[in-house]
Chain A
């Protein structure tokens, strides 16, 4: 599936993007032949038949693990290698935060159904889940700017992953954190509500079931019965949805990275399309498909770990 999807993207990208446009703006102007010659060395020249280019491209990947070059000769491999790390720290951190926050809130509110805390958090979650990423991120920026102004110093940076001038280990760590806080908050804000609402409704279903009542009768406190018996079964669908949210988080990160000026995969996605970088676009697509596959595998693993009814063959 990943292979088919990636190849399909290659043909689509080749049809829709014209790398010659990158050279048309150059001064002095170049002749079409010169442009084709420059592009040919990166396997991008429209003069070569598409199938030849495709064969060259795929054999380079299979034999040398080389994903090609952008129209101006930047290697896709080095770009991706560097950007995956940048995106990963952002996405993984906010994924962990939003999962923990969502499940904790779900458990907390399910125990207080229809009381004020439940109503309040539910209203909040309905709003945050429906606010577009753009708006949520920009509101975070706005609040941070107000905070910085009221403090009189720049406590939290709204752009970039790190400052270029900082050196030394501890200052560097501190600087990274000051850059990381805002985008992480923005990403967490848009994704925790889904887990909260899901966990709440699932836990409410199990809270009144017989086995939780049995656990109570056995002498467990209400809290313990919910945590040890109710929570475990209701965690299964939540874990599945977290695993499948991995690719969605990376698309969500497209907006967040654009707004906060992070050089990650999401930002690479926009820049490759606007720069007619066919090979880069395809690499991003392959990465996205790979993430979906990893998400599906993670979901299966989560079910096996959490659900005692599912036993792996042979055990």
Chain B
């Protein structure tokens, strides 16, 4: 599903895999990590993204402390009330407090995005690497499935299944994962095919290391930098997908609240009650843009051939 949304596509230089051997002294490891950190912090955009994301997470976790209302509380005295000291960000047409809803919706969207992106990254890394390493029939079958799923209009099937599920966010996670791993698996496969002929992989194989172990210990760590970037970009894509699905009514559904359903509420009253639109719009934009900035910064920091992170 990732591939069907307009948005960033993970691009990684093919020569980008870190050529560091698996066995390294602890001291060298530490300094490599410090190197990545230094290169990451050098990019202003990435740091800004990290700060914004940190604030958003804090808001999602602690925001509930600043309002006496819960997201489902209904205030019949103030329907579609503009922001006031009582309701900091106003209320919607059903009398729900927008601030409390925003906190809950952001939580919901964050949980969905992070878990879907983590799951798809893990699945695509494993499937792609196994297919590349085993080769032969396994590779053909896996690639066949991947290509088939890429042709299937996944957005439509997503909408079908999640509508049937009645908008349960856990089902949404499963469905988004099932239709979201193929594109990344294809990218991982392409990278891993070049890795499988490397000397250290051959050496491990001739020493009698098992297949699964080679995939887990030698192939996947060497595409780690790609996976980290894939994860951050996956979060952006999932937030966009979830927002779109919930907006047209096939994702998270009332009474549950996500940023997408809040946008749906706000869309009808864009001129008469704009605060209902501004709040989720600002939050969702901050979320996607900050994640994208972090992804860019990580890509530059982890890519040994990149010069945009500065020397060293």
**B206 is an interface residue with CB less than 8 A from chain A:** no
Tell me if B's interface is mostly helix, strand, loop or mixed.
Answer: helix
Q: Which residue of A lies closest to B150 (CB)?
A: A292
Q: B residues within 8 A CB of A135?
A: 243, 263, 281, 284-285
Q: Is the CB of A12 within 8 A of B6?
A: no
Question: Across the interface, do B157 and A255 meet the contact criterion of CB distance under 8 Å?
Answer: no
* A137 to B, closest residue via Cβ: B267
Determine whether A313 belongs to the interface, using a CB cutoff of 8 Å to chain B: no
The reply on B96 being an interface residue by CB < 8 A is no
Interface residues of B in 255-286 (CB under 8 A from A): 260, 263, 266-267, 270-271, 274, 277, 281, 284-285
A194 beta carbon closer than 8 Å to chain B: yes
- Taking the complex as formed, is A214 at the interface, i.e. its CB lies under 8 A from any CB of chain B? no
Contacts between chains A and B (CB distance < 8 A), count: 138
Question: Provided the pairs A13-B160, A138-B277, A285-B153 are in contact, do residues A270 and B6 lie with their beta carbons within 8 angstroms?
Answer: no
Contacts of B288 in A (CB 8 A): 130-132
- Among A218-232, those with CB < 8 Å from B are none
B126-173 interface with A by 8 A CB criterion: 147-148, 151-153, 155-157, 159-161, 163-164
Q: Which of B148, B152, B248 contacts A255 (CB 8 A)?
A: B248
Indicate if the CB atoms of A130 and B236 lie closer than 8 Å: yes
Contact of A127 among B247, B266, B284, B289 (CB under 8 A): B289
A160 in the interface, Cβ–Cβ < 8 Å? no
- Decide: A126 and B6 in contact? CB cutoff 8 A: no
Taking the nearest CB of chain A, how far is it from the CB of B32, in angstroms? 26
Check A12–B160 contact: CB distance below 8 A: yes
Closest to A98 in B: B6
* Known contacts A5-B151, A248-B4; is-contact A134 B271 (Cβ 8 Å): no
Kindly specify which of A45-53, A68-76, A103-111, A139-147 makes contact with the partner chain.
Answer: A139-147
Chain A residue contacts of B240, Cβ below 8 A: 130, 132-133
Q: How far is the CB of A185 from chain B (nearest CB, A)?
A: 15
Which of A130, A252, A255, A288 sits near B285, CB closer than 8 Å? A130
Question: Does A284 reach chain B (CB closer than 8 Å)?
Answer: yes
Asked whether, in the complex, the Cβ of A142 is within 8 Å of the Cβ of B277, the reply is: yes
Instruction: Scan residues 52-100 of chain A and give those whose CB is less than 8 A from a CB of chain B.
Output: none
Q: Decide yes or no whether B292 CB sits under 8 A from chain A.
A: yes
Cα A199 to Cα B147 in complex, Å, equals: 27
Whether a CB of chain A sits under 8 angstroms from the CB of B83 is no
| A142 and B4 contact, CB distance less than 8 A | no
Structural contact, A288 and B153, CB atoms closer than 8 A: yes
| B244 vs chain A, min Cβ distance (A) | 6
Inter-chain contacts of A16 with B (CB < 8 A): 160-161, 163-164
**Residue ID in chain A nearest B152 by CB atoms:** A5
The 8 A CB mask of A237-253 against B (1 = contact, 0 = none) is: 00000000101110110
Measured between beta carbons, the chain A residues less than 8 angstroms from B6 are: 129, 133, 190-191, 194, 245, 248-249, 252
CB closest chain-A residue, reference B250: A273
The answer to whether residues A139 and B281 also contact, given A134-B260, A134-B267, A270-B249 and a CB cut-off of 8 A, is yes
Find chain A residues with CB under 8 A from B157 CB.
Answer: 9, 12
**Cα–Cα distance between A247 and B263 once the two chains are bound (Å):** 24
Q: Hey, what's the 0/1 contact readout for B91-131 against A, CB within 8 Å counting as 1?
A: 00000000000000000000000000000000000000000
Contacting residues, chain B, for A255 (C-beta < 8 A): 244, 247-248
Q: Which residues of A contact B289 (CB under 8 A)?
A: 126-127, 130-131
Q: How many angstroms between the C-alpha atoms of A190 and B8 in the bound complex?
A: 11
In Å, the complex CA distance between A180 and B222 comes to: 49
Query: Interface SS of chain A: helix, strand, loop or mixed?
Result: helix
How long is the Cα–Cα vector from A190 to B281 in the complex, in angstroms?
15
Within residues 1 to 25 of chain A, which ones have a CB less than 8 A from any CB in chain B?
1-2, 4-5, 8-9, 12-13, 16-17
Known: A251-B5, A252-B6, A259-B267. A131 touches B285 (CB 8 A): yes
Q: How far is the CA of A8 from the CA of B291 in the complex (A)?
A: 35
Q: How far is the CB of A141 from chain B (nearest CB, A)?
A: 6
Tell me if A258 is interfacial: C-beta within 8 Å of chain B: yes
Please tell me if B54 contacts chain A, counting CB pairs below 8 Å. no
Task: List chain A residues, Cβ under 8 A from B270.
Answer: 138, 141-142, 145
Distance in Å from the Cβ of A145 to the closest Cβ of chain B?
5
| B239 on the A face (CB < 8 A) | yes
Bound-complex Cα distance A187 to B304 (A): 37
Q: Chain A residues near B271 (CB, 8 Å)?
A: 142, 145
CB distance from A280 to the nearest CB of B (A): 11
Give Cα A17–Cα B156 distance, bound, in whole angstroms: 13
Chain B residues within 8 Å of A1, by CB: 147-148, 151
- Do B160 and A273 touch across chains, with their CB atoms under 8 A apart? yes
Asked if A163 CB lies within 8 Å of chain B CBs, one says: no
Instruction: State whether the Cβ of B7 lies closer than 8 Å to any Cβ in chain A.
Output: yes
Contacts of A258 in B (CB 8 A): 247-248
Q: How far is the CA of A127 from the CA of B6 in the complex (A)?
A: 13
Residues of A within 8 A of B274 (CB): 142
Of all chain B residues, the one with the shortest Cβ separation from A248 is B6
* A205 and B218 alpha carbons, distance in the complex (Å): 32
Residues of B within 8 A of A (CB): 3-8, 45, 147-148, 151-153, 155-157, 159-161, 163-164, 236, 239-240, 243-244, 247-250, 260, 263, 266-267, 270-271, 274, 277, 281, 284-285, 288-289, 291-293, 296
Show 11 A/B contacts (Cβ-Cβ < 8 Å), sorted by A.
Answer: A2-B151, A126-B292, A127-B289, A132-B239, A138-B263, A194-B6, A247-B4, A255-B247, A258-B247, A258-B248, A273-B156
Q: Which 5 A-B pairs have the closest CB atoms?
A: A288-B153, A130-B288, A16-B164, A135-B281, A132-B243
**Sample of 18 further A-B pairs with CB below 8 A, known A247-B153, A248-B3:** A8-B152, A16-B160, A16-B161, A129-B292, A132-B263, A132-B285, A138-B270, A248-B6, A251-B4, A251-B5, A252-B5, A252-B6, A254-B248, A258-B247, A270-B249, A273-B156, A285-B153, A285-B156
